[in-house]
Structure 1
Amino acid sequence: MESSITNYRSNALRDPIILSVLDQMNARRKRPDSNMFQGSVAPDPELFADYGFSIHPEQGDLIYTLCRAMKATHVVDFATSVGMSALYFAAAMRDNGGGQVVGAELVSAKADTAYRNLTAAGLDAYVDIRIGDARETLKDLGKPVDFALIDGWPLAKGPTLARQVIEIIAPQLRVGGYVLNDNAESDFLEYIRDPANGFISVTLPIKRGTELAVKIS
């Protein structure tokens, strides 16, 4: 019991090792030339293996804080990329006394980078990155989900990945569970703001608009 109390009172985001890894990851941020996204065909994710399209620190702090407040132990990280968001989730799992981050990443080289970053931070034991199409790898999450981050990748046509993935995760999210969306895809917002789907949401003034939703039914 004492160990559990100690974990809950700790703050991994003050750990100098974890802070050092986060600082290094932020220092390595780079964005590809916008020309790589031009054309009528969706860009090949493999061409962007060296780019980490990661959440901003303010979003990471929000993820960590909410996961601590709700004592989350089962969370989803889509897409994991180089592991920035997974690191914040895993820090909360450690401080909550245990748990699992289920990651989803299409590009295996990025998953390898994410594991290196998580290992350097001492948090790899809390993360399971499922490599492949998230529309398949996230179909069965094993038990109710407390929190999900939904990012995405541009598609040439049809529903966005964010919209397709929320439709997969929503039935597996527990009542009271959170969803955080990074890119404000219009069809994702249409879904999450439709009362028939059981969510209420708010747009936060973080990174040009971050949508936070909670499942209420």
Structure 2
Amino acid sequence: MSREIVTHGTGPSPIRDARVLDVITRMNASRRLPPREAFDGPVGKDPQAFADYGFSIHPDQGDLIYLLCRGLGAKRVVDFATSVGMSAIYFAAAIRDNGGGLVIGSEFVPAKVEVARRNLEDAGLADYADIRVGDARETLRNLGDPIDFALIDGWPVPEGPSLARQVIEIVAPQLRVGGYVMNDNAEPDFLDFIRDPANGFISITLPIKRGTELALKIA
């Protein structure tokens, strides 16, 4: 049965499930960001202080995640950080449409986990996601079987390596050869890791959002 193609990014979405698209459209319509000055000072580094805000991927990033996961036949993926569930919905839609599997999400703020789970339920995708509450450096340390795709976002830390760098070092050994990593924030030390040939990746920077790094594990 044919249906109208829905556009919510810069082009038509590859997703054809009206229920999923309705939730994505609602979430995009309700997007809001805190004022820039909210990030100043020590509170700006505390994710709990931003529990009322969903920092979500751009629709074009979501469509790319869905398309790549479908092409890979992805069954097991990592979603960090899950926030209110936007990226998890794209992942879970692809996993379901591939015949089943699991999205392993990680989110530090419990209130956001509750919202993410409700959004996944509304989209009819709750059975395909395990959203873990806590520090991703612990919740993603043991993923079980190899994974096919990982989204590495993150949150500013006061000092030392970025959270994205710390998490990719944990996740990379658990990613299968031929799997993808997408990074949202272009943290310099994450890029240093993913672009170092010794770590087994090749990557490109895509002109999506502020610059989206997409890496393929080749070794």
Residues 180, 215 of structure 2: 8 Å contact kept? yes
User: For 2:89, which of 82, 87, 90 is the aligned residue?
Assistant: 87
Residues 73, 98 of structure 1: 8 Å contact kept? yes
Residues 77, 102 of structure 2: 8 Å contact kept? yes
Alignment of 1:119-138 (within 5 A): 119-138=121-140
| Unaligned runs of at least 5 residues, structure 1 | 1-10
SS state of the match for residue 64, structure 2? helix
Query: Which amino acid in 2 is paired with 1:32?
Result: P
Q: CA deviation at 1:39?
A: 2.2
Residues 43, 49 of structure 2: 8 Å contact kept? no
Identity %: 70
Q: Deviations over 1:148-184 (max 9, x none)?
A: 0000001111000000000000000000010000000
Q: Deviations over 1:16-45 (max 9, x none)?
A: 111110011001100001111112565211
For residues 42 and 75 of structure 1, the distance between their equivalents in structure 2, rounded to whole angstroms, comes to: 29
Q: Deviations over 1:178-211 (max 9, x none)?
A: 0000000000000000000000000001002100
For residues 76 and 21 of structure 2, the distance between their equivalents in structure 1, rounded to whole angstroms, comes to: 23
| Counterpart for residue 110 of structure 2 | 108
Q: How many residues align?
A: 207
| Counterpart for residue 145 of structure 1 | 147
User: For 1:213, which of 190, 212, 215 is the aligned residue?
Assistant: 215
User: For 1:48, which of 42, 47, 50 is the aligned residue?
Assistant: 50
Task: Give the structure-1-normalised TM-score.
Answer: 0.93
| Counterpart for residue 203 of structure 2 | 201
Query: Which amino acid in 2 is paired with 1:203?
Result: T
| Counterpart for residue 65 of structure 1 | 67
| Counterpart for residue 169 of structure 1 | 171
1:39 paired to 2:41: yes
| Counterpart for residue 191 of structure 2 | 189
Query: Which amino acid in 1 is paired with 2:53?
Result: Y
User: For 2:23, which of 11, 21, 24 is the aligned residue?
Assistant: 21
Residues 12, 18 of structure 1: 8 Å contact kept? no
Q: Deviations over 1:36-70 (max 9, x none)?
A: 11125652111111101000100000000000001
Residues 78, 151 of structure 1: 8 Å contact kept? yes
For residues 105 and 151 of structure 1, the distance between their equivalents in structure 2, rounded to whole angstroms, comes to: 11
For residues 78 and 122 of structure 2, the distance between their equivalents in structure 1, rounded to whole angstroms, comes to: 21
Using the TM superposition, name which of 58-67 and 32-41 deviates more: 32-41
Q: CA deviation at 1:15?
A: 1.4
Using the TM superposition, name which of 153-162 and 13-22 deviates more: 13-22
**Ranges of 4+ aligned residues in structure 1 off by more than 4 Å:** none
Query: Which amino acid in 2 is paired with 1:156?
Result: P
